[in-house]
Amino acid sequence: MMISKDLVIKTARKIIELFPRRHSDTDPFKVLISTVLSQRTRDENTEVSTKELFSKFKSPWELSKADPHDIYHLIRAAGMYRQKAQRIIKISKILVKEYDGRVPSNLSDLLKLPGVGRKTANIVLFVGFGIPALAVDTHVHRISNRLGWIKTTTPEATEKELTKILPKDLWGPINGSMVEFGRKICKPINPFCQKCPVSEFCEYFKEKR
């Protein structure tokens, strides 16, 4: 049985408070490219690759003219660097050609960009534009189901259900906080339930005892 909406909100606020995540750069283009680089890699690898890339290429205009081989060595740490280089250049060319070098600030246009799914698009909307948007990655999907907030089988369904439960001011922050919470406490295997600050509100913990 899922917990009440009020308890979900209370727990979400506590997770956000205890596991805040700060965004060092809110430029929409940097957020977009950084999020593309972050796919299937660790945060530290994303940070290194983003820093290296933007030390050489400052704008979508510059990246739109780049050759993939000019980028490989800059983003190698992020993994899948050949595919990501081609994707970044394609995105940059589209932005220059169709959006005057600006990142679109709506979901439908963002989803048209190569390699941009709902998670990436929602991160760009929130971090880059301050628009309420709920990005669901593996951490958000897994933890919200484990806590008993929802019962879903796909990230898309999780996003839909969470936007019904959580107030808009929590949509953006919950992603980064869930990521930190999932790495430090609520791990996929052998979570640290005994030292979890929200275990008293967790259905998984109650069933496990």
pLDDT in tens, 79-105: 999 999 999 999 999 999 999 999 999
Residue 22's identity, in one-letter code, is: R
CATH assignment of the domain containing 59: 1.10.340.30
pLDDT number for residue 2 = 64
Per-residue confidence (pLDDT) for residue 59, from 0 to 100: 97
For residue 115, what are the domain limits? 28-129
Phi, psi dihedrals of residue 80, rounded to the nearest 5°: 50, 40
Amino acid letter, 65: K
Express as a percent the part of the chain with pLDDT over 90.
Answer: 92
As a 3-state breakdown, the chain gives helix, strand, coil percent values, each rounded to 5, of 65, 0, 35
Q: What tens digit of pLDDT does each residue of 23-64 get?
A: 878 999 999 999 999 998 988 999 999 999 999 999 999 999
Residues 159 and 189 in one domain: yes
The residue among 129, 153, 186 that closes a domain is 129
CA 170 to chain centroid, in Å, comes to 14
One-letter amino acid at 158 equals: T
- The reported pLDDT for the residue numbered 1 is 57
Claim to verify: residue 44 and residue 107 sit in the same structural domain: yes
Q: Give the residue from 129, 153, 168 where a domain finishes.
A: 129
Q: In the predicted model, is pLDDT for residue 150 greater than 60? A: yes
Average of pLDDT values for 202-207? 92
Residues 103 and 196 in one domain: no
Residue for token pair 């280089």 = 85
Q: Is 108 helix (H, G, I), strand (E, B) or coil?
A: helix
Torsion of CA 155, 156, 159, 165, to 10 degrees: -110
Residue with structure tokens 């019904």? 164
Q: Are residues 32 and 125 located together in one domain of the fold?
A: yes
Strands (E), the chain: none
